[in-house]
Chains A and B, each alone.
Chain A
Amino acid sequence: MSVKGHPQGPLPSPPPIASVTGEGTDSRLHHEVQGRAESIPSPAQRGRAREGAFATLAALFVLLLLATPALAQRNPFAVGANEGAAAAGNSLVAWILAQQSHFYRALTGAAREAKSGMTGFWLLAGLSFAYGVFHAAGPGHGKAVMASYMIANERALKRGLVLTFLAAVLQGVVAIAIVGVAALVFNATSARMTQAAQAIELASYAAVAGLGLYLVWTKGGALMRALRARAPAPIFATAGAPASGRFVCDSVEPGHMHTADCGHFHAPDPATLGDDFSWSAALATVVAAGARPCSGAILVLVFTLAQGAFLAGVGAVAAMSLGTAVTTGALAAIAVLAKGLALRLAGGAEGHGVLIARSAEFLAALVVLAVGVALLGGAWSAGGLA
């Protein structure tokens, strides 16, 4: 508890490019370049599409920055892990605070009633679900990591939704495990529970930084490959069939023929572009985004335990996780869809799609790394390592 302010660590330099080898994307990239040479859209068309692509990407990064938590000191009354403090907004704040106060009182009341019957329990579950939906809309590193991962890696919407769901479930499970084991089994004090939560929190920060390093390494390599592929390459020559005015694209499909005024673009398919999906990176993301327990869940669990209705608290936390999954799932969907949109716009114009996609992925990887380093630095200066 000593240093104020927002610690920032220096970013490690990107990995050496030479060590990253191509993995079968080169021919497609080459194909890409050829497509660009063939298609000649009007300058106005190109400009509009590029503007659109950049606007979408810019919006994505605004979103990422918004999802990044304001790093604050550990609050004197911290419950378990360190929650990102909210930056307050506008004149609605007072009203919203009043509503939250009412909501909190209703939640407390429902938790007290939960043991007396199913009606009380369903009220508690419903309120907890709403708590999950709205609480997840606040800042938090989990969302920043998840959205960055989606931009850096994920193209398949369904898989992205599964990952966000798993992260939300993990968050609930961790809270239940902490309170269940520490309070129910060992009758530990709040100080002990807070220590347990902080240890897990630190591990999740390390996971964020590790994931960031991994993504920067792989995405940096992919970006450099895309950059190199844009330089004119000798195999690009139309040596195939110059006499007929047709040539064979240097493609994975040998029979793929084009006329000289090749009528279609080679927009990268967002569903398959560089789909180097790795389960270990995906699981690391789930852990990085979901391991840190939520204060609200811990409070509900401890309170219901004190009322002698711990199982009702477990049900409430499950509902809370479901609510969180709704919000973070929507965020992940926006990230995946917006990236696809940017790729379509950019690719449609002149085949810049690969480069723009690789740049976006690399930037997103940098965001994950920066968030991880900043979180670790913050935990360090807040005495989390002591």
Chain B
Amino acid sequence: MSFCKCLIATAAATLAFLAAAPAVAHPHVWVAARATVLFDKDGQIAGLRHVWTFDEMYSAFATQGLGKDGKPPTREELQPLARTNIESLAEFDYFSFAREAGKKLAFHEPSDYWLDADEKKVVSLHFTVLLKEPVAAKKPFSFQVYDPTYFVAFGFEKSDPVALKDAPAGCSASVMEPAPLLAAESQRLSQAASENFSPGGDLSARLAPRVVVACP
């Protein structure tokens, strides 16, 4: 039976390799994100304004068939795609996950949004999401931008990733890179992946940078 055992071991090793493979995230779209934290006149955090700049390939896809005489398409020409993007984003919570003192916060539907293309036809999506209830910035307020399904890989721009608008004096924002996973978490996640359960938002959240806004 040792020959059979050897065969089984080989098959098992191959299976283990293949089992590891689906665990690999494979994004198809890359986004460089910039966010502006909006404050209202009472000094409370009202919402977020996003600018998401897409990679060249997705930009080529988005601008295909648009624009005259080789020029980049106008905002008007891109508006149907922007509407589709925004409507679809509702299902994904706009890839915007905000917390105040550990409590999840909900956003309204975006009212103003558009896509534009620069002279190199690189496309950016602009939109604003307002919190359903503005929050005082005294308690820790933080947010993340990520796609739980990993189809889109988000990263913050290197320069000026986050800005504050109409913030009270002394407020600041900082981007915290994700901490390495704990051994127990890794194990749990590997298990989830090997059983092909979606690890859900909590894993994606653990791997995404977090922007923390603090006011005195």
A residues whose Cβ falls under 8 Å from a Cβ of B: 1-2, 4, 48-49, 52, 55-56, 59, 62-63, 65-68, 70, 72-79, 83, 85-91, 93-94, 96-97, 100-101, 104, 108, 111-112, 134-135, 137-139, 183, 187-193, 295-296, 298-300, 302-303, 305-306, 331, 334, 337-338, 341, 345
B81 within 8 A of A: yes
B186 adjacent to A138 (CB under 8 Å): no
Known: A85-B198, A97-B27, A331-B18. A90 touches B190 (CB 8 A): yes
B24 adjacent to A96 (CB under 8 Å): yes
A183 adjacent to B64 (CB under 8 Å): yes
A70 adjacent to B196 (CB under 8 Å): yes
A52 adjacent to B8 (CB under 8 Å): yes
Closest CB in chain B relative to A175 CB, distance in Å: 12
A52 adjacent to B57 (CB under 8 Å): no
Which A residues touch B25, using CB under 8 A? 86, 88-89, 93, 96-97, 100
Which A residues touch B92, using CB under 8 A? 73, 75-76
Which B residues touch A59, using CB under 8 A? 8, 11-12, 15
B14 adjacent to A192 (CB under 8 Å): no
B61 adjacent to A299 (CB under 8 Å): yes
Known: A55-B8, A77-B152, A89-B189. A187 touches B65 (CB 8 A): yes
A76 adjacent to B85 (CB under 8 Å): yes
| Binary per-residue interface labels of chain B (192-216) against chain A in the complex, 1 for a CB within 8 Å, 0 otherwise | 1111111100011001000000000
B61 adjacent to A139 (CB under 8 Å): no
How many angstroms from the CA of A90 to the CA of B190 in the assembled complex? 5
Size bracket of the B interface: 35 or more
How many angstroms from the CA of A1 to the CA of B20 in the assembled complex? 31
A72 adjacent to B149 (CB under 8 Å): yes
Closest CB in chain A relative to B24 CB, distance in Å: 5
How many angstroms from the CA of A72 to the CA of B22 in the assembled complex? 15
A303 adjacent to B11 (CB under 8 Å): no
Interface centre among A48, A134, A189 (most CB of B within 10 A): A189
Task: Please list 30 pairs of residues, one from A and one from B, whose beta carbons are closer than 8 Å in the complex, sorted by A's number.
Answer: A1-B91, A56-B11, A65-B196, A66-B19, A66-B194, A66-B196, A73-B92, A76-B88, A76-B92, A78-B88, A79-B28, A83-B151, A85-B149, A85-B151, A85-B198, A86-B23, A87-B193, A87-B196, A88-B23, A88-B204, A104-B57, A135-B26, A137-B24, A187-B65, A189-B81, A191-B84, A299-B58, A302-B57, A306-B60, A334-B15
A90 adjacent to B189 (CB under 8 Å): yes
Query: Total number of A-B contacts with CB less than 8 angstroms?
Result: 208
| CB < 8 Å neighbour of B18 from A52, A63, A298, A306 | A63
B140 within 8 A of A: no
B114 within 8 A of A: no
Interface centre among B28, B81, B84 (most CB of A within 10 A): B28
B193 adjacent to A90 (CB under 8 Å): yes
B62 within 8 A of A: yes
How many angstroms from the CA of A98 to the CA of B30 in the assembled complex? 11
Closest CB in chain A relative to B59 CB, distance in Å: 9
Closest partner residue, chain B, to A193 (CB atom): B64
Closest CB in chain B relative to A315 CB, distance in Å: 17
A89 adjacent to B55 (CB under 8 Å): no
B85 adjacent to A77 (CB under 8 Å): yes
A108 adjacent to B207 (CB under 8 Å): no
Closest CB in chain A relative to B16 CB, distance in Å: 10
| CB < 8 Å neighbour of B196 from A4, A68, A190, A306 | A68
Closest partner residue, chain B, to A86 (CB atom): B25
B21 within 8 A of A: yes
A70 adjacent to B198 (CB under 8 Å): yes
B152 adjacent to A75 (CB under 8 Å): yes
B11 adjacent to A89 (CB under 8 Å): no
How many angstroms from the CA of A78 to the CA of B81 in the assembled complex? 11
| Binary per-residue interface labels of chain B (105-123) against chain A in the complex, 1 for a CB within 8 Å, 0 otherwise | 0000000000000000100
| CB < 8 Å neighbour of A138 from B5, B21, B198 | B21
A87 adjacent to B22 (CB under 8 Å): yes
Closest CB in chain A relative to B190 CB, distance in Å: 5
Closest CB in chain B relative to A128 CB, distance in Å: 13
For window 26-73 of B, CB contacts with A under 8 Å fall at: 26-30, 54-58, 60-66
Which A residues touch B180, using CB under 8 A? 91
14 extra interchain contacts, Cβ-Cβ under 8 A, other than A66-B18, A67-B22, A305-B60? A52-B4, A59-B11, A68-B196, A77-B58, A77-B85, A88-B25, A90-B181, A90-B190, A97-B27, A112-B56, A137-B22, A139-B196, A190-B62, A190-B81
How many angstroms from the CA of A142 to the CA of B146 in the assembled complex? 27
Which B residues touch A49, using CB under 8 A? 1, 4
Interface centre among A68, A93, A305 (most CB of B within 10 A): A93
B189 adjacent to A190 (CB under 8 Å): no
Closest CB in chain A relative to B31 CB, distance in Å: 8
